[in-house]
Amino acid sequence: MSELRPDTKAVHIPMPPIDGSRPITMPIYQTSGFVFDDPAVMAASMGRPDGSYVYGRYSNPTVRSLELAVAGLEGGTSAISTGSGMGAINVVLLGLLRPGDHLVAQRSLYGGTAAMINELAERFGITVSYVPENDPAALRAAVRPETKLVYLETISNPMTLVADLPAMCQAARELGILSVVDNTFATPLLCRPFEHGADIVVHSTTKYLSGHTDVVGGIAVFADQELYERAWRFAIELGASADPFAAWLTLRGLQTLALRMERHCSNAEFLATRLAEHPAVTAVHWPGLASHPSYELAGKLLPGFGGVFSFDLAGGRAAGEKFMSSVRLALLAPSLGGVETLILHPATTSHRSLSPDELRRSGIGEGTVRVSVGIEHPEDLWADVAQALA
């Protein structure tokens, strides 16, 4: 070819190959598609999760790196990264359920998941039954011939109820039903649901896995390759795929997960214990406290009890609102699992879509405050909480 003109040279930038060394960290492959030398390889790669990279909505090396990392931590075979936790949950629910199917879900669910399940019931002809998270007999009683999925959360939001995963997943397995576990609050460092018989694990990677409150993402991890491929086909149709930069931020956060979780757990223990002794507080909900309904199960199932807890103020809604406008270090904000301590009022924010009746059934009071404890020094956090209570 003749010497290219500047207009063309500017478009086709050089991409020198890397020989003899390689990057220490996973690079961000900020490209929407991939170039082929061989049209036959391109044709063979379309529509296959294990083919060469074709198009960013199907897969991307940075995104794949995150999928391998989280699948490895959870002990699954493969994973699908998504643009949000709800994206991952919907890949699973919409990808595996069809009209006429029946779903059994635990009663206390993340607000967004609860809203989505209501939507499935109303608009998509999928029926839903709710059972307690720790009652395999209730699960067996709820199951019908058309039941396809059981949906659980390792640690629930905001009352931190711990699901009896060994009993519930075992029951589902005996009944021939797939079990899906949202492991966002526990992370694979505190619990690996596949070890207890789960089939699919979902995460909002927005929370602990990325850990720095700077990215929204999700992931669905599969124990079984065939199930993964079914969900993958649906995921690319749904268009819920993760962005490479978001995946990269999550990978970067993941490297310090163990250090952060240790501090989140110890800070939560410190604050929960002190709050439980405070006269303005009527109850503290954290599974590491003997007063919590999941205390015994949590002790058997989890090596640590997580960084989220909630507490009830004696003064109800007014006291809750006063507390939230009085903290200085803790930030009034949505989300959780980041390095900063965040607080919110579930009744008016994360769980606003629940009716008063549903709220009561989830155990959420008018004066309930949820705390996602960060990794600050515990005494600084306590000083802030104590001045806000005073």
Ligand X SMILES: *Cc1c(COP(=O)(O)O)cnc(C)c1O
| Burial annotation 198-221 (CB, 10 A radius, 16+ → b, else e) | bbbbbbbbbbbbbbebebbbbbbb
Residue closest to ligand X, measured at CB: 85
In angstroms, the CA 122 to CA 27 distance is 43
Question: What whole-number distance in Å separates Cα of residue 247 and Cα of residue 82?
Answer: 9
Residue of 108, 160, 204, 368 interacting with ligand X (CB under 6 A):
204
**Residue 207 or 260 with smaller CB distance to ligand X:** 207
- Quote the tokens at residue 119: 């939507």
Residue 85, interface with ligand X (CB under 6 A)? yes
The DSSP element (H or E) to which 109 belongs, if any, is none
Cβ distance to ligand X smaller for residue 182 or 269: 182
C-alpha 35: how far from chain center: 34
Count the Cβ atoms, other than its own, within 10 Å of residue 80: 29
Contact between 86 and ligand X by CB under 6 A: the answer reads yes
Site for ligand X contains 213 (CB under 6 A)? no
Q: How far is the CB of 36 from ligand X (least distance, A)?
A: 34
Element (H, E) at 263: helix 257-276
Told to check if 363 binds ligand X by CB under 6 A, we report no
Report how far residue 221's alpha carbon sits from residue 181's, in angstroms, rounded to the nearest whole number: 10
307 sits near ligand X (criterion: CB under 6 A): no
Q: Structure tokens of 143?
A: 């199951």
Cβ neighbours of 26 (radius 10 Å): 18
By CB under 6 A, name the one of 101, 182, 199, 312 that touches ligand X: 182
Q: Is there binding between residue 362 and ligand X (CB under 6 A)?
A: no
Give whichever of 152 and 169 is closer to ligand X, judged by the CB atom. Answer: 152
The least CB distance from residue 87 to ligand X, in Å, is 7
Q: How many residues bind ligand X (CB under 6 A)?
A: 16
Residue 207 binds to ligand X (criterion: CB under 6 A) = yes
Q: Is 370 in the site for ligand X (CB under 6 A)?
A: no
Distance between CA atoms of 358 and 294, rounded to whole angstroms? Answer: 20
The upper half-sphere exposure of residue 259, i.e. CA atoms within 13 Å in the direction of its Cβ, equals 7
- Choices 4-12, 81-89, 92-100, 193-201 (CB under 6 A): range interacting with ligand X: 81-89
Whether the CB-CB separation of 230 and 96 falls below 8 Å is answered with yes
Closer by beta carbon to ligand X, 112 or else 132: 112
What amino acid positions are annotated as catalytic residues?
57, 110, 182, 207
Does 187 contact ligand X by CB under 6 A?
no
Q: Can you tell me which of 59, 60, 65, 157 binds ligand X, judged by CB under 6 A?
A: 157
Interface ranges with ligand X (CB under 6 A): 84-86, 110, 112-113, 153, 157, 182, 184-185, 204, 206-207, 216, 218
